[in-house]
Amino acid sequence: MMKYLSIPALAALFIIAGCSTSSAPESNGSPDKSPAVKGSTSAKDFITSIDGLVLVKLEPGEFVMGSDKWSGDEKPAHKVKLGRSFWIGRTEITQSQYEKIAGKNPSLYGGKNAPAEQLSWESAVDFCRKLTESDKSRIPEGYAYRLPTEAEWEYACRAGTTGDYAGKIEDLAWDGSNSKNSTQEVATKSPNAWGIYDMHGNVWEWCLDSCEYGEKGVRTETFTEGLSDPCSTKGDFRVLKGGSWCFDKKFCRSSTRYADKPDFAAADIGFRIALAPEIKLNR
């Protein structure tokens, strides 16, 4: 069951298959400019203090999370309610954006406008905390920049769709079939119906939720019918979503779940931020 191999184990398989994560290609020399975020509608956008880091507002709503079509940890498909509006990044955090806050860029691939990678969950949470501090005067009361919960992430990924992908996957995703063994600049594929890029593919994205992870895949106690604003706080792993540039598209589905330890980093793991009701992490 390849699906339940750990990400390091999968990385080893991909190295064998020619998808090495152990060395970086030459930089593509792309200029340090803001990613071209197309389709922005200013009324829905939240402009952060970081150049090019634009978040789109999503209204409260209900959706069906998970899938009964696939085996294991994606079952059961269940209704989730998101009770408050929130904003989510139109793009993954780029290398130039990450460097601006963290003061370093550990990424191996793709250049300044490609997603930041080689990032642990801990470093992603630290980025959110620092940006919240520096943007305090502009963010709404009770909100903070943080990682999206898995439910918020899947809601944003699906953008009202109910199938495996939020559209034609070839138009939406950089995955193992077209990435040329590297991340690609963000927002260079089509956005989903809500104007959000690279939810499928490019880099796996950390979510806020803790989870158990093993032979049965990702397990969270909140993956059940009818909860509002679920966020799992149990387990030593953290949830990853969306697949990446070196995975087959079947791993890039809206409901695909993965996980790794919060201090684990790899060249196909990054994140995007949400501006959402604060959640205190007691862990």
The minimum distance between CB 79 and Ca ion, in angstroms, equals 25
Considering the complex, state which of residue 144 and residue 269 has its C-beta at the smaller distance from Ca ion: 269
Considering the complex, state which of residue 217 and residue 242 has its C-beta at the smaller distance from Ca ion: 242
Binding stretches for Ca ion (CB under 5 A): 198, 202, 242
The minimum distance between CB 166 and Ca ion, in angstroms, equals 12
The minimum distance between CB 201 and Ca ion, in angstroms, equals 6
Q: Which two tokens stand for residue 51?
A: 């150049």
Q: Which residue is nearest to Ca ion (CB)?
A: 242
Considering the complex, state which of residue 189 and residue 219 has its C-beta at the smaller distance from Ca ion: 189
Considering the complex, state which of residue 230 and residue 242 has its C-beta at the smaller distance from Ca ion: 242
The minimum distance between CB 198 and Ca ion, in angstroms, equals 4
